[in-house]
């Protein structure tokens, strides 16, 4: 492990979830933050008092309060590294177009969510991506494209191949997920975190190199390669691999 | 008031401090070392792979109960008074006592309140078992809620006790109990034929009526300025005690009923000749013996005397019987692993089950001789018993597998035993199957699976044995262990499944008598037979004796015997080479009996350590600490009560033994020995502390006995009254509450019942939530139906028919008057009109007329109330603060020049710019404009994410609000970018910063947000040269404003500001929209509510109710928003409004296509990229994001870092849409 990992045991990463309204993108956030929340909380409870359960009939654990401060913070384990994820999901405020700029500024990684049942929701992403790149002033900002509502296969309006072709063009991984069946929810966030961590590491390395600090950057490259492999693996689990997408694409 | 509140709080606190002892017990390394040092215990309990640290891993699994049980019932008497030194707070238990549990400590002690006496203290959970019979569950749940509510200090007394709502649960619980047992009616045949039952029922009802009376008293005391608050606490305490008594009576009632049922079961009173063998103690594997012996170092003669003592106990056969039934129930739940994920887990549960069953069969064997043992022949008993036996065999087998060296004969006999007991179980299952006429496919399948698993086990065992033979080794290879282990756990799972299915079947058809014939499994077990010399010692079959006096001997000798075929006997005989002292086989089991389920028993030394430390602390602190579990005294207690003399000797013997074991801590054992002297004094004082009513509050608290006398004198009429109340139809049991007593869920009928409660005015929050959100969970038609239904069925309860019907009328009236939504509700008129015309009119003529009139008006006009905004459907009227009308209106900051400018704008001659006006006045006019829209947002626009659907047609005002906000942002950008000169741009930016600042002064966060967003956007913030021309002071101001709208941590800053903010204030609408969206998606629409036993499968037993909590949350957020729907007191300047509207219109029309992109292009034209000039010498990394963020704190827009880290040399300044 590269040495600086030790100094940053748990990083805070800012993720912004974007997409047209009604694509269920907030469900992804909810699915990621809520159950984790719940899980963490019950573990916490158990540790504290071993189920003292002062007559709390599981009531408060079961209801989700989005108004509290850490409703959108969650912890994830990414390749053995603990990261704290702060998810900015402005669900419900899609109509506040001018606010997007503010939200995007805070993000280090972006989840672009569309619904596979709506072609227009996909076309909206292009504009969002433009905006991200413009605002972050960075072509390589970590992005993951998510086709949500993958459980509604019968209503599919966006062929899988289309998703992959966009994924290729944008150089961003594509997942088909379902918040309802909880398919690929965590994977999507983990992939994004992985990208963000990798960039962070690279920048760190660059900064170190700039400082004239003499150290072996080999470790980082190794890490990067393993990351790549894992990404591919993950994508294979995520219903389709890039090679498949390529075939589909050329088949078109 | 304050003092009484704190007192209530103190009652709520467990009388002991937990944490300290917990720390000591876990933190003490020596506590586990004893076990660790013993190779046997280790190898027995944990998989061989991870010998180190396994104790830690293991203990939580040992500790983990299937669930937290709120109620326990003692099955052993527990009498700590003499034994405990610091004790105090331990509760003496009698057999059958029911305890309300507040918490359970890891060491197995529970903080509980004895329902019988109301005393609170610590009690050993291993003396108790979960108490949750189906019939009682609602009453028990109601008691929990009752306790929560009455003991809660977070709730305003007046709020709860102002009405009788809190009583409904208890009444409904009693009703449920009587209904389930078919005893609701006095004329019920059960009641008629059993006098005891009748009496029980009567005393239950009289308790209930007494509680109802107290509740009335409490309600009256809540009337203003009637009685001092002190009295309220008295009444509350009294009521809790009464509620306890109700439950106690309920328990008694159920017991009597059970007895009655049992007695009536057609019984062939054949006392089995082989009672003893049938319930023999399962063989204990050597490892277990070692473990037990290690854990419970006790003298042997102890056992015998205790056995004798227990025999004495069993004379009360009736109670033993019930206990046994209870035992079995729990066992099966423990023994059938619902889904053991790991070997270790399943193993742990297995071992536990095994130990448990060992202790249980022991009890059974003692109870056996009694003439009432016929219940053993009930198929359910048999099923449980055979299942236990099977599990215990498997458990011991698995335990053995973890001993590295496994001898062939041992293995083969263990397998045989397991297989045979499995066969027995299958025979019982077959019996059930035949009895239900082979109609259950699931049972058949489960049975088949189980048979397969057993077969697997036998075959894999055979293979293993064959291998071993060929290798001429008497030892089974460890690698084979895993195969065997898999098969064995498979068996356990299959058996659990099978038994569960069988039980379902039994429940359906009812219990029946079942004689077990000798069973044959159908698997040739002879394959497992090994060399004959191994069978050296075949014990004689112990004589089937029902004489308690010979139990000791027979017990010992029959350890290898069985009920079944003679063949079985020989086999088990083989199994018992018993290298250790024969008595020891029984010793550990016997000793373990009371302790088995307890986690503490697995760590005796830690308990002991607790003891020492707590001993010390108990002296120093007056506050009693958690009494440690002194294993000696607890384990000996049961016998103590019955044979004091015997026990005395034993006690000493064992104490001395204990001494030698913990020789290092002589001090503590000394304390034990001297317990008779000073400790008894201590205990007295602290027992008082246990019962808070006596010590903490030395007031006129009626003692339990006093209470009972007053209760018994309750008049018959009152009982009748309560009885009639019980007969009322109610849906109260279909409501769910949270700790604060708020409704969190319920069926529509239950919610309607709540809405139309007669005792008091219903909770305002509930009512407004209901009206606001009911269309989300039912149709207006359904609501009308439910209300009419309520109107009808309340006639069954004459004493409240009138008030409730009036409430139904009021509910309709409120709906029609102020919550009517014509587009959705019109259909309901088809029900409401005939209802008011006929039903209502016949009972309440004027109300009927009025309602009809309303309905007619509504049908004509749509809605009666002009949808005047801020008064409409306010969720929380009490908070609404209006700006006092006499607040002086601020003088408009408009100079005459500016007025002229506006005038010339009106005439179309000139067009003033933003710079021409005062920031304060611009902010004011903007705020007025925004507030007008904000105030017209209707609550229903915010429901169910309306504003997101269909382009927001049904949420016009929300949409208008967001559009205005966007337009404002665009206006900011547009006004800045329209100037080619840097200085002018800077001036405009400065002006906007000032306007934003004025917005903040006005608490207009929506405007602030819009302006800051735009200033902060990449389009504007990148204009470095422009920003350079802005003073540091303005930049500082902007930074402060930016911090306010920072979205991180869920808008923490803004939320904090808005919390408790006093109107007038214009919050950022987007935040509420996000919250509403997440409440909507994050909370399911319905909840599952268990009606029967909670531990059982919910879907079969529960009902699906409306998740009212979700709607309450929604209503709360909307209420929060509505709180701010109060117009500012500001002077409207129409000309400026017009000018602003024109500006906004211009911006809106100017931006065809993507404004953001066109603004950005404009921005690039004004100040081209500086970085484009830079030649990228090397592939540079992009800006460190972390650095960027850090930088932005010091450097407003992070230009520095941007310059350095511009990633790709994009020479063309235009964005690249072509890429898409």
pLDDT, tens only, B1000-1013: 999 999 999 999 99
pLDDT of res. B1079? 83
Mean pLDDT of all residues in chain B? 65
Flag whether residue A93 sits within 8 Å of chain B, measured between CB atoms: yes
Per-residue pLDDT band for B1090 (boundaries 50, 70, 90) equals low
Question: Tens digits of per-residue pLDDT, B359-397?
Answer: 333 222 333 333 333 445 677 777 777 777 777 777 777
| Residue of chain B nearest A99, judged by CA positions | B1013
pLDDT of res. A25? 66
- Tell me the two tokens of residue A166: 């966009």
Of B962, B1075, B1109, the CB nearest to A67: B1075
C-alpha angle with apex B96: B92 to B100, nearest 5 degrees? 70
The lowest-confidence range among A84-98, B651-665, B934-948, B1151-1165 is B651-665
CA B967 to chain A, closest CA, distance in angstroms equals 8
The lowest-confidence range among A233-237, B469-473, B514-518, B1102-1106 is A233-237
pLDDT of res. B377? 63
* H/E element, B610: helix B604-620
Average pLDDT over every residue of B734-754: 81
pLDDT of res. B9? 35
A142 or B96: whose pLDDT is higher? A142
Q: Give me the long-range contacts of B853-862 (CB less than 8 A, separation at least 24).
A: B854/B813, B854/B816, B854/B817, B855/B816, B855/B829, B858/B816, B858/B820, B858/B822, B858/B829, B859/B826, B859/B829, B859/B833, B862/B820, B862/B822
Per-residue pLDDT band for A105 (boundaries 50, 70, 90) equals confident
Alpha carbons B71 and B132: distance in angstroms, whole number: 7
- Tell me the two tokens of residue A248: 């589909």
| DSSP one-letter code for B991 | H
Alpha carbons A144 and A194: distance in angstroms, whole number: 11
Alpha carbons B514 and B988: distance in angstroms, whole number: 95
A56 or B1096: whose pLDDT is higher? B1096
CA distances to B133, B433, B720 from B250, rounded to whole Å, are 11, 35, 17
HSE-CB at A207 with a 13 A cutoff on CA atoms is: 16
Q: Judge whether residue A236 has pLDDT over 60.
A: no
Q: Do A55 and B966 touch (CB under 8 A)?
A: no
Mean pLDDT of all residues in chain A? 69
Flag whether residue A43 sits within 8 Å of chain B, measured between CB atoms: no
CA B1193 to chain A, closest CA, distance in angstroms equals 13
Per-residue pLDDT band for B630 (boundaries 50, 70, 90) equals very low
Q: Do B1185 and A203 touch (CB under 8 A)?
A: yes
Taking contacts as CB-CB distances below 8 angstroms, the residues of chain A near B945 are 92
Of A22, A29, A66, the CB nearest to B948: A22
Average pLDDT over every residue of A172-197: 85
Q: Judge whether residue A213 has pLDDT over 50.
A: no
Interface A-B, measured as beta-carbon pairs within 8 A, has a size of: 208
Give the helix ranges, DSSP H, for B53-136: 54-63
Flag whether residue A226 sits within 8 Å of chain B, measured between CB atoms: no
pLDDT of res. A195? 92
Question: Tens digits of per-residue pLDDT, B977-996?
Answer: 999 999 999 999 999 999 99
Q: Judge whether residue A66 has pLDDT over 70.
A: yes
| Residue of chain B nearest A56, judged by CA positions | B739
| Residue of chain B nearest A133, judged by CA positions | B1215
Task: Please say whether the beta carbons of B528 and B415 come within 8 A.
Answer: yes
Task: Please say whether the beta carbons of B1063 and B1124 come within 8 A.
Answer: yes
Q: Do A59 and B744 touch (CB under 8 A)?
A: yes
Q: Sheet containing B1086-1089: give its strands across.
A: B735-737, B743-746, B1103-1106, B1086-1089
Q: Judge whether residue B902 has pLDDT over 80.
A: yes
Place of tokens 């064992």: B654
Question: Tens digits of per-residue pLDDT, B295-344?
Answer: 333 444 444 444 444 444 444 444 444 434 444 443 333 333 333 333 33
A244 or A157: whose pLDDT is higher? A157
Of B959, B1013, B1154, the CB nearest to A98: B1013
Q: Do A207 and B1160 touch (CB under 8 A)?
A: no
pLDDT of res. A1? 44
Flag whether residue A55 sits within 8 Å of chain B, measured between CB atoms: yes
CA B736 to chain A, closest CA, distance in angstroms equals 9
pLDDT of res. B982? 93
Per-residue pLDDT band for B1052 (boundaries 50, 70, 90) equals confident
Average pLDDT over every residue of B44-59: 35
Average pLDDT over every residue of B149-159: 59
Q: Which of B19-23, B83-87, B997-1001, B1119-1123 has the highest mean pLDDT?
A: B997-1001
Alpha carbons B111 and B90: distance in angstroms, whole number: 9
Q: Do A92 and B1157 touch (CB under 8 A)?
A: no
A165-204: string of b/e by CB count within 10 Å (b at 16+)?
bbbeebebbbbbbbbeeebbbbbbbbbbbbbbbbbbbbbb
| DSSP one-letter code for B836 | I
C-alpha angle with apex B778: B772 to B780, nearest 5 degrees? 75
| DSSP one-letter code for B999 | H
The lowest-confidence range among B269-283, B758-772, B1105-1119 is B269-283
B580: left (phi over 0), alpha (psi -120 to 50) or beta: beta
Strands, DSSP E only, in B1008-1109? 1086-1089, 1103-1106
pLDDT of res. B287? 39
CA B1055 to chain A, closest CA, distance in angstroms equals 9
Q: Judge whether residue B206 has pLDDT over 70.
A: yes
B641 or B516: whose pLDDT is higher? B516
Average pLDDT over every residue of B821-830: 87
- What is chain B's alpha carbon radius of gyration, rounded to the nearest angstrom? 39
Of A51, A60, A90, the CB nearest to B1070: A90
Taking contacts as CB-CB distances below 8 angstroms, the residues of chain B near A65 are 1079, 1113
Q: Judge whether residue B19 has pLDDT over 70.
A: no
C-alpha angle with apex B8: B7 to B11, nearest 5 degrees? 90
Place of tokens 């020789």: B663
Per-residue pLDDT band for B1074 (boundaries 50, 70, 90) equals confident
- Tell me the two tokens of residue B896: 């005459």
pLDDT of res. B739? 66
Q: Judge whether residue B33 has pLDDT over 70.
A: no
pLDDT of res. B708? 39
C-alpha angle with apex B914: B910 to B917, nearest 5 degrees? 90
Q: Judge whether residue A150 has pLDDT over 80.
A: yes
CA A7 to chain B, closest CA, distance in angstroms equals 14
Q: Do B1184 and A129 touch (CB under 8 A)?
A: no
pLDDT of res. B510? 64
CA B66 to chain A, closest CA, distance in angstroms equals 12
pLDDT of res. B415? 77
Question: Tens digits of per-residue pLDDT, B295-305?
Answer: 333 444 444 44
The lowest-confidence range among B96-110, B857-871, B891-905, B916-930 is B857-871
C-alpha angle with apex B854: B849 to B855, nearest 5 degrees? 100
Strands, DSSP E only, in B171-311? none
N-terminal to C-terminal alpha carbon distance within chain B:
70
B329-345: string of b/e by CB count within 10 Å (b at 16+)?
bbbbbbbbbeebeebbb
B647-682: string of b/e by CB count within 10 Å (b at 16+)?
beebbebbbeebbeebeebeebbebbeebeeebeeb
Average pLDDT over every residue of B284-292: 38
Question: Tens digits of per-residue pLDDT, B938-977?
Answer: 888 898 888 887 777 888 999 999 999 999 999 999 999 9
HSE-CB at A98 with a 13 A cutoff on CA atoms is: 32
Per-residue pLDDT band for B502 (boundaries 50, 70, 90) equals confident
For chain B, counts of helices (H) and of strands (E): 55, 9
Count of CB atoms within 10 A of residue B249's CB? 22
Q: Do B1049 and A67 touch (CB under 8 A)?
A: no
pLDDT of res. B972? 94
A200 or A90: whose pLDDT is higher? A200
**Residues above pLDDT 90, as percent of chain B:** 13
Q: Quick check: helix, strand or coil at residue B690?
A: helix
Taking contacts as CB-CB distances below 8 angstroms, the residues of chain A near B941 are none
Q: Do B105 and A135 touch (CB under 8 A)?
A: no
Alpha carbons A178 and A155: distance in angstroms, whole number: 13
pTM given for the model? 0.55
Count of CB atoms within 10 A of residue B526's CB? 8
Place of tokens 């603060």: B881
pLDDT of res. B662? 35
Suggest the residue from A34, A45, A54, A97 to mutate for an interface test with chain B (most B CBs closer than 10 A).
A97
Residues 6+ apart with CB under 8 A from B500: B336, B446
- What is chain A's alpha carbon radius of gyration, rounded to the nearest angstrom? 19
Flag whether residue A137 sits within 8 Å of chain B, measured between CB atoms: yes
CA distances to A86, B12, B611, B624 from B687, rounded to whole Å, are 51, 16, 18, 9
Place of tokens 């219940």: B375
pLDDT of res. B289? 38
Flag whether residue A22 sits within 8 Å of chain B, measured between CB atoms: yes
Alpha carbons B423 and B138: distance in angstroms, whole number: 39
A142: left (phi over 0), alpha (psi -120 to 50) or beta: beta
The lowest-confidence range among B450-464, B658-672, B905-919, B1046-1060 is B658-672
Taking contacts as CB-CB distances below 8 angstroms, the residues of chain A near B1210 are 139
pLDDT of res. A251? 33
- The residues facing A11 across adjacent strands are A83
N-terminal to C-terminal alpha carbon distance within chain A:
43
| Residue of chain A nearest B973, judged by CA positions | A98
- Tell me the two tokens of residue B1156: 């953001």
Average pLDDT over every residue of B753-764: 79
Q: How far is CA B222 from the centre of its chain?
A: 32
Question: Tens digits of per-residue pLDDT, B81-125?
Answer: 544 444 456 777 777 788 887 777 766 777 788 887 777 777 777
HSE-CB at A99 with a 13 A cutoff on CA atoms is: 27
Per-residue pLDDT band for B923 (boundaries 50, 70, 90) equals very high
Q: Judge whether residue B1041 has pLDDT over 80.
A: yes
Q: Do A90 and B1048 touch (CB under 8 A)?
A: no
Of A91, A105, A106, the CB nearest to B1078: A91
pLDDT of res. B526? 59
């Amino acid at each position: 492990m590269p040495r600086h990992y030790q100094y940053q045991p748990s990083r805070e990463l800012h993720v912004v979830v974007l997409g047209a309204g009604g694509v269920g993108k907030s469900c992804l956030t909810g699915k990621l933050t809520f159950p984790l929340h719940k899980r963490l909380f019950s573990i916490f409870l158990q540790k504290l008092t071993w189920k003292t359960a002062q007559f709390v009939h599981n009531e408060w654990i079961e209801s989700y309060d989005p108004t509290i401060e850490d409703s959108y913070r969650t912890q994830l384990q990414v390749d053995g590294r603990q990261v704290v994820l702060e998810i900015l999901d402005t669900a419900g405020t899609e109509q506040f177009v001018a606010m997007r700029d503010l939200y995007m500024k805070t993000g280090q990684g972006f989840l672009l969510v569309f619904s596979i049942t709506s072609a227009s929701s996909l076309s909206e992403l292009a504009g969002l991506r433009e905006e991200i790149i413009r605002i972050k002033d960075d072509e390589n900002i970590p992005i993951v494209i998510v086709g949500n509502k993958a459980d509604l296969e019968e209503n599919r309006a966006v062929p899988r191949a289309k998703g992959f072709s966009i994924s290729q063009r944008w150089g961003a991984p594509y997942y088909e997920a379902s918040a309802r069946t909880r398919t690929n929810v965590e994977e999507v966030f983990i992939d994004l975190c992985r990208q963000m961590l990798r960039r962070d590491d690279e920048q760190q390395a660059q900064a170190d190199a700039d400082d004239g600090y003499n150290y072996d950057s080999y470790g980082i490259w190794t890490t990067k390669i393993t990351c790549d492999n894992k990404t591919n693996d993950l994508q294979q689990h995520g219903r389709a691999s890039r090679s498949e997408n390529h075939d589909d694409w050329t088949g078109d | 008031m304050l003092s009484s509140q704190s007192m209530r709080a103190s009652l709520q606190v467990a009388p002991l401090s937990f944490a300290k002892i917990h720390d000591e017990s876990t933190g003490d390394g020596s506590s586990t070392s004893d076990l660790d040092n013993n190779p046997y215990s280790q190898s027995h309990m944990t998989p061989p792979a991870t010998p180190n640290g396994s104790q830690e891993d293991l203990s939580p699994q040992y500790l983990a109960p299937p669930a937290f049980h709120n109620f326990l019932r003692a099955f052993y008497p527990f009498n700590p008074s003499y034994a405990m030194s610091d004790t105090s707070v331990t509760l003496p238990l009698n057999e059958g006592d029911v305890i309300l549990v507040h918490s359970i400590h890891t060491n197995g002690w529970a903080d509980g309140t004895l329902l019988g006496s109301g005393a609170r203290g610590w009690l050993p959970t291993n003396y108790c078992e979960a108490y949750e019979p189906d019939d009682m569950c609602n009453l028990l749940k109601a008691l929990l809620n009752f306790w929560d509510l009455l003991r809660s200090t977070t709730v305003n007394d007046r709020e709860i006790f102002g009405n009788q709502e809190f009583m409904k649960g208890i009444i409904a619980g009693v009703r449920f109990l009587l209904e389930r047992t078919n005893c609701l009616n006095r004329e019920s045949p059960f009641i008629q034929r059993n006098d005891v039952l009748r009496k029980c029922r009567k005393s239950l009802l009289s308790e209930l009526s007494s509680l109802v009376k107290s509740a009335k008293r409490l309600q009256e005391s809540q009337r203003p300025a009637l009685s001092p608050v002190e009295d309220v606490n008295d009444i509350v305490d009294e009521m809790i005690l009464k509620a306890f008594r109700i439950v106690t009576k309920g328990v008694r009632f159920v017991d009597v009923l059970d007895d009655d049922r049992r007695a009536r079961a057609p019984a062939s009173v054949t006392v089995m000749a082989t009672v003893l063998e049938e319930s023999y103690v399962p063989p204990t594997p050597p490892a277990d013996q070692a473990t037990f012996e290690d854990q419970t170092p006790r003298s042997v003669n102890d056992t015998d005397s205790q056995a004798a003592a227990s025999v004495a106990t069993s004379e009360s056969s009736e109670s033993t019987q019930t206990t046994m039934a209870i035992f079995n129930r729990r066992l099966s739940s423990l023994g059938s692993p619902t889904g053991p994920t790991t070997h270790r887990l399943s193993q742990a549960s297995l071992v536990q089950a095994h130990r448990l069953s060992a202790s249980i069969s022991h009890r059974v064997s003692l109870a056996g001789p009694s003439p009432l043992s016929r219940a053993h022949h009930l198929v359910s008993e048999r099923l449980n018993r055979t299942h236990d036996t099977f599990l215990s065999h498997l458990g011991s087998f698995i335990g053995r597998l973890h001993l590295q060296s496994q001898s062939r004969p041992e293995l083969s006999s263990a397998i045989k035993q397991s297989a045979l007991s499995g066969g027995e179980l299958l025979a019982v299952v077959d019996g059930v199957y035949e009895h239900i006429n082979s109609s259950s496919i699931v049972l058949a399948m489960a049975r088949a699976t189980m048979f397969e698993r057993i077969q697997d086990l036998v075959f894999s065992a055979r293979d293993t044995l064959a291998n071993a033979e060929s290798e001429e080794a008497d030892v089974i290879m460890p690698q084979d262990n895993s195969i065997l282990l898999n098969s064995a756990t498979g068996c356990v799972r299959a058996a659990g499944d099978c038994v569960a299915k069988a039980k379902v079947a039994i429940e359906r058809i009812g219990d029946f008598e079942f004689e077990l014939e000798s069973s044959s499994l159908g698997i040739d077990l002879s394959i497992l037979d090994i060399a004959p010399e191994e069978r050296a010692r075949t014990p004689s079959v112990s004589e089937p004796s029902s004489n308690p006096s010979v139990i000791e001997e027979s017990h010992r000798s029959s350890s290898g015997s069985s009920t079944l075929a003679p063949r079985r006997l020989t086999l088990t005989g083989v199994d018992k080479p018993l290298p250790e002292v024969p008595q020891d086989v029984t010793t550990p089991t016997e000793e373990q009996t009371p302790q088995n389920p307890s986690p503490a028993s697995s760590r005796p030394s830690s308990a002991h350590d607790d003891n020492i430390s707590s001993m010390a602390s108990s002296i120093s602190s007056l506050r009693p600490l958690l009494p440690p579990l002194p294993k000696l005294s607890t384990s000996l207690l049961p016998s103590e009560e019955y044979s004091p003399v015997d026990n005395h000797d034993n006690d000493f013997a064992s104490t001395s033994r204990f001494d030698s074991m913990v020789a290092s801590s002589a001090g503590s054992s000394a304390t034990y020995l001297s317990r008779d002297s000073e400790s008894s004094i201590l205990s007295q004082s602290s027992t008082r502390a246990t019962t808070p009513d006596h010590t903490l509050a030395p007031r006129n608290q009626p003692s339990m006995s006093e209470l009972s006398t007053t209760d018994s004198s309750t008049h018959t009429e009152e009982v009748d009254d309560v009885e009639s109340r019980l007969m009322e139809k109610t849906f109260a049991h279909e409501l769910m509450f949270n700790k604060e007593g708020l409704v969190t869920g319920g069926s529509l009928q239950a919610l309607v019942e709540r809405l139309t409660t007669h005792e008091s005015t219903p909770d305002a929050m509930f009512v407004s939530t209901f009206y606001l959100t009911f269309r989300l969970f039912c149709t207006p038609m359904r609501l009308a139906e439910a209300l009419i239904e309520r109107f009808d069925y309340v006639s069954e309860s004459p004493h409240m028919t009138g008030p409730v019907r009036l409430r139904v009328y009021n509910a309709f009236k409120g709906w029609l008057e102020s919550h009517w939504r014509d587009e959705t509700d019109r259909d309901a008129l088809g029900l409401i009109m005939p209802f008011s015309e006929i039903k209502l009119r016949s009972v309440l003529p004027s109300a009927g007329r009025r309602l009809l009139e309303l309905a007619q008006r509504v049908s004509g006009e749509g809605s009666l109330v002009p949808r005047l905004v801020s008064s409409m459907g306010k969720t929380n009227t009490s908070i609404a603060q209006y700006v006092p009308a006499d607040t002086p209106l601020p003088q408009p900051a408009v100079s005459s020049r500016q007025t002229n400018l506006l005038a010339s704008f009106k005439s179309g001659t000139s067009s003033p710019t933003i710079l021409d006006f005062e920031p304060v006045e611009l902010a004011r006019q903007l705020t007025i404009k925004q507030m007008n829209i904000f105030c017209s947002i209707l609550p229903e626009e915010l429901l169910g994410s309306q504003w997101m659907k269909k382009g927001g047609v049904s949420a016009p005002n929300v949409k208008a609000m967001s559009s205005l906000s966007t337009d404002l942002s665009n206006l900011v950008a547009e006004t800045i970018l329209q100037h080619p000169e840097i200085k002018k741009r800077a001036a405009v930016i400065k002006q906007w910063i000032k306007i934003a600042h004025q917005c903040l002064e006005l608490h207009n966060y929506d405007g602030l947000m819009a302006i800051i967003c735009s200033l902060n956007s990449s389009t504007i913030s990148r204009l470095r040269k422009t920003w350079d021309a802005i003073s540091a002071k303005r930049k500082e101001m902007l930074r402060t404003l930016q911090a306010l709208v920072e979205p991180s941590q869920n808008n923490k800053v803004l939320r904090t500001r808005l919390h408790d903010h006093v109107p007038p204030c214009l919050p950022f609408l987007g935040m509420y929209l996000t919250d509403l969206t997440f409440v909507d998606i994050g909370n399911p629409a319905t909840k599952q509510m268990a009606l029967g036993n909670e531990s059982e499968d919910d879907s079969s037993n529960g009902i699906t109710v409306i998740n009212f909590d979700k709607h309450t949350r929604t209503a709360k957020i909307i209420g929060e928003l509505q709180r701010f729907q109060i117009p500012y007191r500001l002077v409207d300047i129409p000309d400026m409004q017009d000018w602003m509207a024109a500006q906004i219109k211009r911006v809106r029309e100017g931006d065809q296509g993507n404004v953001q992109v066109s603004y950005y292009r404009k921005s690039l034209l004004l100040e081209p990229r500086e970085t484009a000039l830079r030649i990228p010498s090397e592939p540079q990394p992009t800006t460190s994001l972390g650095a960027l963020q850090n930088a932005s704190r010091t450097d407003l827009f992070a230009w520095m870092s941007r310059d350095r880290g511009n990633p790709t040399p994009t020479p063309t300044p235009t964005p690249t849409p072509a890429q898409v």
